Amino acid sequence: MHKKENVKWSGRLTKNLGLKIISFLLAIGLWLLVVNIDDPVVRWTYLDVPVTIKNADVITNQGMIYEVLDGTDVIPRVTVYAPRSVGENISKSDIVATADMNTLNSLNILQVEFSVPKVGSSKVSDIRGSTDSVHVSIENKKNVQKVLKTNIIGEAPEGYVVGNVTTDQNLVRVSGAESVVDRVESANINIDMNTLSEFTSDITTSVPVRLYDEEGNEVEGSTLTKNPENVMITIEILSTKDVPLRFEVDGEPADGYGLTGMVSSDVQTVRIAGRRSALNSMSEIVIPAEAFDLSGISEETTMEIDVCDYLPENVQMADKSTSMPVNVTIGVERETTTDYTLRAEDVRITNIPEGKTCELEGLEEEYTVSVTGIRSVMSNISAGDLEAVLDVAAWMREQGLKELPAGKYSVTLQYNTPEQTELERPVTVILAVSEGTEENTEE
C-alpha cells in the first residue's frame, strides 16, 4: 500500500515539470527586478583623482630618479558603477588609484589600477578611469652644492641703508634629475626691503632659497630638492650721514718745484653709514699726506684715492661700494729764488727778560737774504714783507734756559716768509746780553 502512495506522490511532482521550472525562474526574475528597482546600479563620477606610485624604490635604489610627466599622476575623471546604497557612501577620497613601478614598460608607462577599499570590490559593479596610465621620465640622480648669494631688492627707509647680511647657512645642497640640476647656475636669498621698509633697526627673519639658471630664470621641478629650503638671516640696518673730505697734502716734488697749496677733488662730500654713535663722532674724513706720492712730480697732478681706505673700522660707504675713488688734483709750480736787501735796524727784538739789555752784533747795516718759492707766491713778495724778528723768550725755551746771564750768544733770526717759500740760508747773528735796560728795547 505504501509503495502505491509513493508512486502517486512522485507522479504529482513530475507532472507539468516544465511549467513548474518556468514558474520558478519567473519568480526569481521577478524578485531580482523588484530588488533592482528598489536599489538600482548608478554611475558615480569623481574628478581629479590622484595616483599613488608604489614601489618607487625599484628606481631610487639604483641611483635613479623619476618624474611624472604632463600631470599624468592625476586622473581627470573616474567613474564608479555601484548600487545607489553603496555609491551614496563613496567620496573622492575613497577612490584609490595606484601605479606600481614594477609595471614600468619600455615606453616608461605605468599601468593604473582602481579600487574602493572602503566598500570592497564585491559591492562595486565596475570602476574606470578616463586614463589608465602614468607617464614618467627616468634619469640619473645628481647632487651638487652651491654657495648662497644675497640679493637685496629695494632700499631701506630714508636715512638708513642695509649693512652686513649674515646667514646661518652659506651652502645649499641641491638634488634632483641630472638634466634639471645641470641647469642650476646659482642659489640666491632674495631680501625684499620694500616689505621691510618700516624697520630702522636690525632684522632677523627666514627667507626661502631660490635656484636660478645662467639667464636668471628660476629653476623648479618636482624632483628638485634643496637642503635647506629656508635660511635664517640677520640684516644690519645702519644710519647715514653726509661728511666733507679734507686732504692733507705734503711732500717734496721734483727739484726746483714746489707745492702751490691748491688741492681740489671731483668729490667734496660723501655719504657714510654706521651705527649712530659712530657717526656722531665724525665731522669729516681726513685723507692723510701719506696717501699722496709727490716724489718727482713737476706739474699739476691728479691722483686717484680710495676713500674707503681711510674710513674708521666701524664705518662704511652708504652705497656699499667696495671702493670709492676720488680724483684729487694737486697744484705744483716751478720755484724761483729772489734776493732782498734788508736793513739791520729793522730787526725787532722781542720778549727780553726783565733787567736785561739785548743788542745784535755781526749784522751789516744792509744785508741780503735769498728767498725761494713758487712763482705765483714770489711775485707778490717785497722786501718790506720779510720782517726779521728775534723772540728772546722763545729762543731761551729752545735752548732750555730759565735764566739769561750776560754774555754773547749765536742766534738765528726768524723772517715773516709766506707759505710755499723758505730762506735759502739762515741768517745767524750774535746776541749781546748785558745787565740793565734801555728804553727802546721791546718787551
246 φ/ψ sector (left φ>0, alpha ψ -120 to 50, else beta): beta
At 275, the pLDDT band (50, 70, 90 cuts) reads very high
pLDDT at 11: 53
Q: What percent of the chain has pLDDT over 70?
A: 90
Rounded CA-CA distance 344/364 in Å is 6
Q: Does 132 have pLDDT greater than 50?
A: yes
Mean pLDDT confidence for 266-285: 93
Q: Check whether 316 has a pLDDT greater than 50.
A: yes
Tell me the pTM.
0.57
Mean pLDDT of 324-347: 93
* Confidence class for position 322, pLDDT limits 50, 70, 90: confident
pLDDT at 405: 93
- Report how far residue 403's alpha carbon sits from residue 12's, in angstroms, rounded to the nearest whole number: 170
CA distance 67 to 177: 8
Mean pLDDT of the 86-106 span: 93
Helix (H, G, I), strand (E, B) or coil at 4: helix
Taking 60 as the threshold, does the pLDDT of residue 69 lie above it? Answer: yes
Q: Is 250 helix (H, G, I), strand (E, B) or coil?
A: coil
3 state SS of 199: coil
Which residues are CB-contacts of 57 (< 8 A; sequence separation ≥ 6)? none
Give the pLDDT band of residue 201 (cuts 50, 70, 90). confident
What confidence tier does 252 reach under pLDDT thresholds 50, 70, 90? confident
pLDDT over threshold 60, residue 37:
no
| The predicted structure's pLDDT at residue 185 | 95
Whether the predicted pLDDT of 13 surpasses 60 = no
**What average pLDDT does the segment 362-391 reach?**
92
Least confident segment among 137-141, 191-195, 270-274, 397-401: 191-195
Report DSSP letters for 341-369, one per residue.
Answer: EEEGGG-EEE-PPTTEEEEEES--SEEEE
The pLDDT, as a whole number, for residue 203 is 87
d(CA 331, CA 170): 49
**404 and 433 Cβ atoms separated by less than 8 Å:** yes
